[in-house]
A and B are shown apart, each in its own frame.
Chain A
Amino acid sequence: DAGITQSPRHKVTETGTPVTLRCHQTENHRYMYWYRQDPGHGLRLIHYSYGVKDTDKGEVSDGYSVSRSKTEDFLLTLESATSSQTSVYFCAISEFRSNQPQHFGDGTRLSIL
């Protein structure tokens, strides 16, 4: 299995609070991704990174920011959490740009009350 660790695995917080999720990889892969999974929507891309300090938006990026200061770590931040951001968040990594599968972490279940 790809060495991907997401933390925390579960979190409950209140509306308006900041939240940071962490993804740590031991594979030295260049590309890292954050997705959210919601019933009926499959997985949707929030942000991705193509190198240290190189990040960009995905299809559902509003309300989220990311940072990547080291190859192995990719952080997802909700600056002011809202109930609509209650979801399961997955980090993924890939070595190459295209035509290769991404490998996923075990997810973080985030509940915003």
Chain B
Amino acid sequence: GDSVTQMEGPVTLSEEAFLTINCTYTATGYPSLFWYVQYPGEGLQLLLKATKADDKGSNKGFEATYRKETTSFHLEKGSVQVSDSAVYFCALSDLGANAGGTSYGKLTFGQGTILTVHP
């Protein structure tokens, strides 16, 4: 079945440092890939997405490229800020099917990576 593996955290950086959070996936179909961010006490917010191989998603200075050959979708940011402190989730979306044959948008998450940025 589908699975997503993220680098384990927590990750602690100083402000303006370079960020990489690794994400690799296993999927049988042609999934879309997402990064979500969760700030304390809030729900998950979509950060960026890529729907096919070689697509680059970007938002708020974050980037990730859909690499089919390495089954990866690593999140990067050139200069992090204190306000980037949050939990980051890599996820893939594929078609799932229940026992009755009805299909649905199945979202599979990694376990999350806690990022803390110090001034």
Contacts and interface: CB of A to CB of B under 8 A. Distances in A.
Contact of B105 (A31, A40, A44): A31
Interface in B19-43: 31-32, 34, 36, 41-43
B44 A104 contact: yes
Contacts of B111: 40-42
A41 B89 CA distance: 11
A31 B43 contact: no
A100 B34 CA distance: 9
B32 A50 contact: no
Interface band, chain B: 20 to 34
Interface residues of A, number: 29
B107 A90 contact: no
Contact of B32 (A48, A100, A104, A106): A100
Q: Is the interface of A mostly helix, strand, loop or mixed?
A: strand
B34 A98 contact: no
Contact of A101 (B46, B98, B103, B104): B46
A103 B105 CA distance: 12
Interface of B: 4, 31-32, 34, 36, 41-46, 49, 51, 89, 93-95, 98, 100, 102-107, 109-112
